[in-house]
Amino acid sequence: MAHYKLAFLGFGNVGRALAELLLRKRVELAERYDITFSVTGIATARHGTVVQPAGVNLAAAIELLQTKRSLNLITKSLIANSFDFIYKCGADVLFENTPVNHQTGQPAVDHVRAALELGMHVCTANKGVVVHAYRELSELARSKGRKFLFESTVMDGAPIFSLFRETLPAARLLAFRGVLNSTTNIILTRMESGESFNQAVQYCQEIGIAETDPSADVDGWDAAIKVAALITVLMDTPFTPQQVERAGIRGISPQMIAAAKAEGERYKLVCSAEREGETIRARVAPERVPISSPLYAVEGSTSIVEFKTDVLGDLSIVETNPGPHTTAYGLLADFINAVRER
Amino acid sequence: MAHYKLAFLGFGNVGRALAELLLRKRVELAERYDITFSVTGIATARHGTVVQPAGVNLAAAIELLQTKRSLNLITKSLIANSFDFIYKCGADVLFENTPVNHQTGQPAVDHVRAALELGMHVCTANKGVVVHAYRELSELARSKGRKFLFESTVMDGAPIFSLFRETLPAARLLAFRGVLNSTTNIILTRMESGESFNQAVQYCQEIGIAETDPSADVDGWDAAIKVAALITVLMDTPFTPQQVERAGIRGISPQMIAAAKAEGERYKLVCSAEREGETIRARVAPERVPISSPLYAVEGSTSIVEFKTDVLGDLSIVETNPGPHTTAYGLLADFINAVRER
């Protein structure tokens, strides 16, 4: 039996869902994987920070935050900032879940680097880190004999990065194509039922999946950063979101949607990339897809990616009903994969 | 760099495709996985057997068999039978690819057992072995510190077993549903274009995917054995094909197909299983599926399986264009996963 001390840097919806999942899977982790754990630190942005080497009562911490009280009620921890937290949390595994910074990946990149330098494994759902520092952080992790894993950055907890890393050894990814942004997919689906673009955006804001400023989704930036992450890791080629040819869905009118529908087609914000000789061409753009395409049936928050490799026919992964709990599962899977004996 | 001696027991289309793939991926295996290999034995049913501790010339062996000559032309090997081959091949890894025996799994089960006892890893595409002896052979492999892997037994080389083993740790499979037999799917697709059942069967025989006696496919036995394999391994519950409720497609008339089509639906031979309390209920039967189902668009030899777990939304895997080369890739992936350092 191996014991691991865990720390949470960032403890929003995903962090709390992960904490609940860890509690639910505690017995299974011990019985199937010989893994036990304690939580030695939790840092939140607005509800305090706690560090307890003997182990935080995780259920009590979740309860405090659900009622919007501060973790400082558990114990008074003298923690100056996020880096001080990393140095003092004493963890074996850091879950880095601070907000995504699409432009620079900071400060998450520095958080991950600091934790790896200290000999921790790091699991993150933060796309910015992958796009801005995948190669450097992976090499640092390797040199330290630790793991830097990030399954939840694309398609939530559905296995994408681990699919290639673990189940498709020696496969070469030639191209991929998919629907990777749920907000735009919900907007397009609702416009098919007659809503205007603005009404559909407002709906997404009401159910909490679109921001007050929806431009990251509707202009294709979220999709482009996911495409860049897939290329960077799975094609082993550093690629920025700016390198992705990008068109959002603001130009898609109700008339265009109706015209497509009349011909048995639907608009989807399609993400794609392919090798062209030594270069890679990547694109995010609205496309009309016919009923024969696997992308046609992808509704609402469902996402899909089709992979073309040199060893199989097309292989598609489809995930329905994502949410904080599925992102949390990706982080749990990363943790187990980082430490388990095989 | 670690060197592995490989042996092929059975060298039909899949074995030869694997040999070609190994030659094509030789440099990549060395560079990315620190793996080198030689082939110390190949046993065929009708074209001789060769054992060479110093290494068989694989390209020469493939060429001999393509021109229907005997491996005995390489060297005179005194091998009495398949078990004698296993004892004398001196391999670290055995690829067991003898024909499937749906009733008992033999003699493949005994082949795998003998190889594991001798300390070999075993990779097989033989479903009979999984359904009839998964638990015993897995425990034997574990006790010997070796691997018994069989990715290619369901959906060819698409990752299904490794998906759960490697990328979905601590996930509990609650139910699955899919289209897993290509012959019946091609028959149903062709009947939609107006062919009779017999014409469609004949077409499948002409392109070499249906046997002279097509009953294993059309009566649902092939699908049932795959369902039993998935339950046995992924739900960790021994399950026989006979326990699967089974109806084939002989009862589906052109009139039924046309009636479904008129209402925007299609017949598919649907495989499904779900936990019901402590028991598992499994079924293979033709069903009408609506256009909103991911199964609707699965045409020709494409296959799909949707997994319902306790940690993600539905997760579907779709594989298009299977063939001996994709089955071969599943065996290569098994080999790499059996021996690689992580």
pLDDT digits (tens, 9 = 90+) for B178-198: 999 999 999 999 999 999 999
Domain at A2-157+324-340, CATH class: alpha beta
pLDDT in tens, B209-252: 888 889 999 999 999 999 999 999 999 999 999 999 999 999 99
- Whether B166 has its CB under 8 Å from any CB of chain A: the answer is yes
CB contact under 8 A, B158 and A32: no
Q: What is the DSSP string of B296-328?
A: TT--TT-EEEEEEESSSS-EEEEE-S--HHHHH
Q: What does the pLDDT look like over B249-292, one tens digit per residue?
A: 999 999 999 999 999 999 999 999 999 988 999 999 999 999 88
What is the number of H-type helices and E-type strands within chain A? 13, 12
Q: Is residue A342's pLDDT more than 80?
A: no
Query: Cβ A159–B168 below 8 Å, yes or no?
Result: yes
Chain B partners within 8 Å of A170 (Cβ) = 25, 28-29, 32-33, 332-333, 336
The pLDDT tens digits of the residues spanning B113-160 come to 999 999 999 999 999 999 999 999 999 999 999 999 999 999 999 999
Residue recorded with tokens 């062209």: A276
* Interface subset of B 304-323, CB within 8 angstroms of A: 306, 311-323
CB < 8 Å to A156, chain B: 312
Encoded amino acid at A341, one letter? E
3-state secondary structure at position A296: coil
Contacting residues of B for A29, CB less than 8 Å apart: 170
Q: What are the extents of the domains in chain B? A: 2-157+324-340, 170-319
Q: What is the pLDDT of residue B341?
A: 80
Q: How many CA atoms lie within 13 A of A340 on its CB side?
A: 19
Cβ-defined contact of A329 to B25 (cutoff 8 Å)? no
- Rounded-to-integer distance, Cα A126 and Cα A150, Å: 7
Task: Report the percent of chain B where pLDDT is more than 70.
Answer: 100
Mutate to test the interface with B, among A29, A152, A291, A318 (most CBs of B within 10 A): A318
Please provide the DSSP assignment of B222-256 as one string: HHHHHHHHHHHHHS-----GGGSEE--STT--HHH
Distance from CA of B1 to the nearest CA of A (A): 16
- Which parts of chain A are beta strand (E)? 2-9, 35-43, 49-51, 93-96, 121-124, 148-149, 173-179, 245-246, 265-276, 279-290, 303-309, 315-319
Q: Do A329 and B321 touch (CB under 8 A)?
A: no
Helix (H, G, I), strand (E, B) or coil at A175: strand
Sign of the dihedral defined by the CA atoms of residues B147, B151, B153, B157, in that order: negative
Phi, psi of A178 (to 5 degrees): -170, 180
B297 and A291 within 8 Å at the Cβ level: the answer is yes
pLDDT in tens, A102-143: 889 999 999 999 999 999 999 999 999 999 999 999 999 999
- CA nearest neighbour of B83 among B51, B115, B106: B115
What mean pLDDT is reported for chain B? 95
- What pTM did the predictor assign? 0.95
Of the candidates B193, B27, B200, B320, which has an alpha carbon nearest to the alpha carbon of residue A314? Answer: B320
**A88, A127, A147, A226: the active-site residue:** A226
Could A337 and B162 be called an inter-chain contact, meaning their C-beta atoms sit closer than 8 Å?
A: no
Distance (Å, whole) CA A6 – CA A2: 13
How much of chain B, in percent, has pLDDT values that exceed 90?
87
- Write the pLDDT tens digit of every residue in A215-234: 999 999 999 999 999 999 99
Residue A76, pLDDT score: 81
Is residue B144 among the annotated active site residues? no
Look at B318 and A322 and tell me if their CB atoms are within 8 Å. no
Q: CB atoms < 10 A from the CB of A273, how many?
A: 24
Chain A residues touching B337 at Cβ < 8 A: 166-167, 169
Mean pLDDT for A328-340 is 97
A329:B313 CB<8 A = no
How far is CA B294 from each of CA A77, A192, B174, B314, rounded to the nearest angstrom?
Answer: 51, 20, 19, 11
The answer to whether B169 faces chain A, any CB pair under 8 Å, is yes
Chain A contact for B144, CB < 8 A? no
Res. A9 pLDDT band, cuts 50 70 90: very high
Closest-CA residue to A295 (of A276, A270, A278): A270
**Burial class for B342, CB neighbours closer than 10 Å (0-12, 13-18, 19+):** exposed
CA A112 to CA B41: how far, in whole Å? Answer: 49
Sign (positive/negative) of CA torsion B94, B95, B99, B102?
A: positive
In terms of Cβ atoms closer than 10 Å to its own Cβ (0-12, 13-18, 19+), residue B78 is exposed
**Architecture field, domain B170-319:** 2-Layer Sandwich (3.30)
> In which residue are the tokens 């083993």 written?
B165
pLDDT at B75: 84
Provide CB contacts within 8 A for B134, sequence distance 6+. Answer: B229, B232, B233, B238
Q: Which residues of B touch A159 (CB under 8 A)?
A: 163, 167-168
Pick from B166, B308, B317 the residue to mutate for testing the A interface (most A CBs within 10 Å). B166
